[in-house]
């Protein structure tokens, strides 16, 4: 009888301790998850594939904002994440600068004027939109593109300081 009582008491104590541990762990996980921002991209930017552009924007936004936010690249087939930044690019025009090869413009001598619309959603609710018009050459080393990401990240996450 004593052995059964001891076993029952130990089982109750262990299950209570495990329940308290699980409850203590849940808010930290929920808090960490609420700080994840998915970066969704539509449209094209010269010098990037869709996946490269998404990874570039996620990395640059992470560099530009505080460490309390974590930016991850979105995949085209994924469903919309409740916390996300949606980048929509549209080419307005392409201007070929001087320099040709056998009478054809050289691709490295062009500037593309873009329209970039950046929307922020937190907890599934729309927060704000930022509109910018950079002129880019191509690739991740483009200064205008980096400045655009810098100004968008600061406007959305530093000046606005969204609260989760």
What is the domain-level CATH number for residue 125?
Answer: 3.40.50
* 91 and 17 together in one domain: no
**The pLDDT value given to residue 55:** 94
Same domain assignment for residues 51 and 108? yes
DSSP string, 101-148: ETTEE-GGGEEEEEEEEEEEEETTEEEEEEEE--EE-SSTT-HHHHHH
Residue 95 covered by a domain: yes
**What does the alpha-carbon distance between residue 159 and residue 164 come to, in Å, rounded to a whole number?**
15
CA–CA dist 12, 4 (Å, integer)? 12
Q: Are residues 48 and 27 in the same domain?
A: no
pLDDT at site 15? 45
> Closest by alpha carbon to 42, among 105, 10, 85?
85
40: left (phi > 0), else alpha (psi -120 to 50), else beta?
beta
Is this structure's pTM higher than 0.85?
Answer: no
pLDDT tens digits, 141-160: 778 888 888 989 888 888 87
The residue segments making up the domain with residue 144 are 36-159
Burial of 117-141, coded b for 16+ CB within 10 Å and e otherwise, reads: ebbbbbeeeeeeebebebebbbeee
The residue ranges of the chain whose pLDDT is under 50 are 1, 3-19, 21-29
Residues 57 and 38: their CA atoms lie apart, in Å, by 10
Q: What does the alpha-carbon distance between residue 23 and residue 41 come to, in Å, rounded to a whole number?
A: 36
Give the pLDDT score at 46.
82
Tell me whether residue 142 is in a domain.
Answer: yes
Q: Is residue 164 part of a domain?
A: no
Q: What is the reported pLDDT for 83?
A: 93
In the prediction, which pLDDT does 98 show?
A: 61
- The reported pLDDT for the residue numbered 139 is 66
Q: Give CA–CA dist 143/122, Å, rounded.
A: 29
């Amino acid at each position: 009888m004593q052995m059964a009582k001891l076993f029952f008491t130990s089982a109750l104590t262990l299950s209570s301790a495990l329940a308290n541990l699980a409850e203590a762990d849940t808010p930290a996980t929920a808090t960490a998850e609420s700080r994840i921002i998915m970066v969704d991209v539509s449209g094209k930017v010269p010098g990037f594939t869709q996946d490269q552009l998404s990874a570039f924007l996620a990395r640059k936004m992470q560099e530009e904002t505080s460490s309390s936010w974590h930016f991850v690249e979105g995949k085209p087939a994924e469903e919309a994440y409740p916390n996300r930044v949606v980048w929509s690019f549209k080419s307005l025009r392409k201007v070929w600068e001087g320099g040709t090869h056998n009478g054809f413009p050289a691709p490295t001598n062009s500037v593309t004027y873009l329209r970039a619309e950046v929307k922020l959603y937190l907890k599934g609710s729309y927060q704000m939109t930022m509109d910018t018009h950079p002129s880019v050459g191509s690739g991740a080393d483009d200064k205008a593109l980096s400045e655009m990401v810098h100004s968008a990240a600061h406007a959305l996450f530093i000046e606005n300081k969204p609260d989760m």
